[in-house]
């Protein structure tokens, strides 16, 4: 075994001088596992190889391929060397040409100095000069050969028609002990691709007590590889995770104040996290795309999409269906008129917590009208998900000050001022079904002895003294109108002041010329 290893070692060292048979592989990608950043590619090819050393050549692979992850799943084939050859951009070519000119000028100058007869007067100086110049000239000639080799490769590549700018040529130097006619399975990881979760939520009729959820995977590829009729798998794992240490807590599990206190980093120490961060930097991310952290269920498994798909590397966003489900839902309307004069429809959704949904953005449609986008944080809920469907003006909400109720007057005791404030809320259900409405209002909270708040009329609302919010929960029958009143009094010193909550401005997006 040792002798075989030594032979392979020397073959690697001498691979430049080995006359390897070049074998072009006609390969096809048949399966891809796409991660949120990166993808695992499985290629197959049928090939006839002779014993000895051969160089396998595959065109139109990704220039963002991670060579360290490349494997050939055939135990009779030993990989000696692997490399990616890609076309140079115009800027890269100019940089190489500039490097060649600079090296040639340095070499000419050194050789000129080296030949000057009067440059060295003493024998010790001559020895130092010979040592320095010989070493420097050899170094420059080596660098010059490397540059010229890359320029020669670039010229050869210009004659090869690759599919796009991100495509490259993969060369794999392999060794075989005997002739083979076999099917190869080649696996590697590429960057320049990723998927993010997306949803389409459809609400047709409140009486149905359900919502339709379409869970989608949005995929963008800049790999340079054109995939046709492939099986697609989706994963929320990180492809380069390879822990080298067993997970163990750094601190004991302690109890504090009757509550559980967990170790903040349950999956490893700081060195493991540092390695994970470094691995993420190895994967080329999508260009021109912003990344954000999302929360995923810890039990999330690999998802295998039904059917076959095609993905082009042209930065187009492809949407692939993961699942479509109907989920039980109850609905209510939410109104906070001091902040927004319109009512919002809210769905209370159950049955989603075992489906492995990932936090994402949803397009919401209500009664065939597209409402807009809503950010859904599934990780923020346990069993019942609160989903804002959007504004719905079929439930009318109007807030107005009650005439002859709002006024200020000066009290004779301690020179205090009393401000009496009163509002009336008119609520009407213009739908054909009964609805539940949650109406909220805000009153000031006194944080000083110089002021006090006295709630005089709530019309059956519930008052939360800690946050100063009043909530009315009521049923509205179709076509019915309900009115509520809020009256409260603020007693304050004459030098004090308060600012009632009034929204005079709101922001909109407008073009800037």
The tokens of 327 are what? 């989920």
Say what the alpha-carbon torsion angle 264, 266, 270, 274 is, to the nearest 10 degrees. Answer: -110
Question: Phi/psi of residue 77, each to 5°?
Answer: -110, 130
The tokens of 308 are what? 């076959």
- The single-letter DSSP state of residue 410 is E
Asked whether the beta carbons of 371 and 364 are under 8 A apart, the reply is yes
Asked whether the beta carbons of 40 and 239 are under 8 A apart, the reply is yes
What single string gives the DSSP state of each residue in 280-319? HHHSPPPTT---------TTPPPEE-SS-EEE-SSS-EEE
Q: How many CB atoms lie within 10 A of CB 1?
A: 5
188-199 per-residue burial string, b: 16 or more CB within 10 A, e: under 16: bbbbbbbbbbbb
Can you tell me whether residue 480 is helix, strand or coil?
A: coil
The tokens of 21 are what? 């048979």
The tokens of 434 are what? 């009964």
Report the distance separating Cα 403 and Cα 487, nearest Å.
Answer: 12
The tokens of 182 are what? 């076999």
- The single-letter DSSP state of residue 107 is H
319-344 per-residue burial string, b: 16 or more CB within 10 A, e: under 16: ebebeeeebebebbbbbbbeeeeebb
The tokens of 113 are what? 């100095």
The tokens of 304 are what? 């295998």
Kindly report the pTM of this predicted structure.
0.70
H-only helix segments in 208-290: 270-282
Asked whether the beta carbons of 216 and 320 are under 8 A apart, the reply is yes
HEC assignment per residue over 400-432: EECCCCCEEEECCCCCEEEEEEEEEEEEEECCC
User: Is residue 127 within a helix (H) or strand (E), and if so which, with residue range?
Assistant: helix 123-158
H-only helix segments in 169-262: none
Contacts of residues 139-143 at CB distance under 8 Å and 24 or more positions apart, as own/partner, are 140/103, 140/106, 140/107, 140/110, 141/107, 143/99, 143/103
| 395: CB partners within 8 A, 6+ apart | 333, 335, 343, 427, 428, 429, 430, 431, 435, 437, 476
Q: For the chain, 513 residues long, give each residue's pLDDT as a single digit of tens.
A: 444 444 444 444 444 445 678 899 999 999 999 999 999 999 999 999 999 999 999 999 999 999 999 999 888 899 999 998 877 777 878 888 888 898 888 888 877 776 666 655 555 666 677 777 778 888 888 998 988 888 887 777 777 778 788 888 999 999 999 998 989 999 999 999 999 999 999 998 888 899 999 999 999 999 999 999 999 999 988 777 655 566 666 677 666 554 444 444 444 444 444 444 445 557 888 888 888 787 777 767 789 999 999 999 999 999 999 999 999 999 999 999 988 889 999 999 999 888 888 888 899 998 888 888 888 888 888 888 988 888 888 899 999 988 655 544 445 455 678 888 899 999 999 988 899 999 999 988 887 777 888 899 999 999 998 888 999 999 999 999 999 999 988 887 765 555 554 444 445 445 443
Say if strands 303-304 and 227-234 run parallel, antiparallel, or are unpaired: antiparallel
Report the distance separating Cα 301 and Cα 235, nearest Å.
Answer: 7
Say if strands 227-234 and 28-34 run parallel, antiparallel, or are unpaired: parallel
Residue 223 exposed, middle or buried by CB count within 10 Å (0-12, 13-18, 19+): buried
């Amino acid at each position: 075994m040792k002798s075989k290893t030594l032979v392979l070692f020397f073959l690697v060292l001498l691979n430049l001088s080995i006359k390897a048979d070049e074998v072009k592989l006609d390969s096809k990608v048949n399966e891809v596992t796409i991660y949120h950043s990166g993808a695992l590619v499985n290629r197959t090819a049928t090939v006839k190889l002779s014993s000895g050393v051969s160089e396998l050549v595959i065109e139109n692979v990704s220039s963002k391929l991670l060579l360290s992850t490349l494997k050939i799943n055939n135990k009779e084939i030993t990989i000696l060397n692997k490399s990616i050859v890609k076309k140079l951009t115009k800027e890269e070519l100019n940089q190489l040409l500039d490097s060649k000119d600079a090296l040639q000028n340095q070499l000419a100058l050194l050789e000129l100095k080296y030949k000057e007869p009067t440059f060295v007067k003493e024998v010790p100086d001559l020895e130092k000069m010979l040592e320095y110049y010989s070493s420097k000239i050899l170094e420059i000639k080596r660098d010059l050969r490397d540059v010229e080799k890359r320029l020669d490769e670039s010229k050869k590549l210009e004659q090869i028609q690759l599919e796009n700018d991100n495509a490259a040529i993969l060369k794999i130097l392999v060794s075989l002990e005997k002739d083979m006619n076999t099917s190869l399975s080649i696996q590697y990881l590429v960057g320049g691709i990723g998927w993010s979760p997306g949803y389409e939520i459809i609400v047709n009729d409140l009486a149905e007590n359900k919502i339709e959820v379409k869970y989608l995977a949005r995929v963008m590829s800049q790999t340079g590889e054109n995939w046709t009729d492939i099986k697609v798998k989706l994963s929320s794992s990180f492809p380069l995770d390879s822990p080298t240490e067993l997970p163990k807590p750094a601190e004991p599990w302690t109890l504090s104040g009757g509550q559980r206190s967990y170790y903040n980093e349950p999956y490893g120490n700081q060195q493991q996290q540092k390695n994970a961060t470094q691995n993420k930097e190895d994967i080329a991310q999508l260009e021109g795309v912003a990344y954000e952290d999302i929360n995923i269920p810890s039990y999330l498994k690999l998802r295998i999409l039904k059917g076959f798909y095609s993905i082009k590397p042209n930065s187009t966003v492809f949407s692939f269906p993961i699942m479509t489900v109907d989920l039980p839902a109850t609905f209510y309307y939410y109104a906070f008129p001091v902040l927004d004069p319109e009512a919002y429809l809210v769905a209370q959704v159950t049955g989603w917590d075992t489906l492995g949904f990932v936090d994402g953005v949803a397009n919401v449609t209500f009664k065939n009208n597209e409402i807009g986008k809503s950010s859904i944080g599934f990780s923020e809920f346990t069993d019942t998900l609160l989903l804002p469907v959007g504004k719905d003006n079929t439930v009318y909400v109007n807030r107005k000050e009650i005439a002859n109720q709002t006024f200020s007057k000066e009290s004779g005791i301690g020179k205090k001022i009393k401000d009496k404030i009163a509002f009336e809320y008119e609520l009407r259900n213009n739908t054909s079904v009964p609805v539940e409405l949650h109406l909220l209002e805000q009153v000031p909270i006194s944080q000083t002895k110089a002021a006090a708040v006295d709630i005089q009329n709530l019309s059956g609302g519930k008052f939360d003294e800690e946050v100063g919010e009043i909530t009315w929960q009521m049923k509205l029958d179709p076509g019915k109108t309900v009115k509520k009143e809020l009256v409260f009094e603020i007693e304050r010193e004459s030098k004090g002041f308060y600012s009632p909550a009034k929204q005079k401005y709101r922001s909109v997006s407008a073009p800037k010329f």
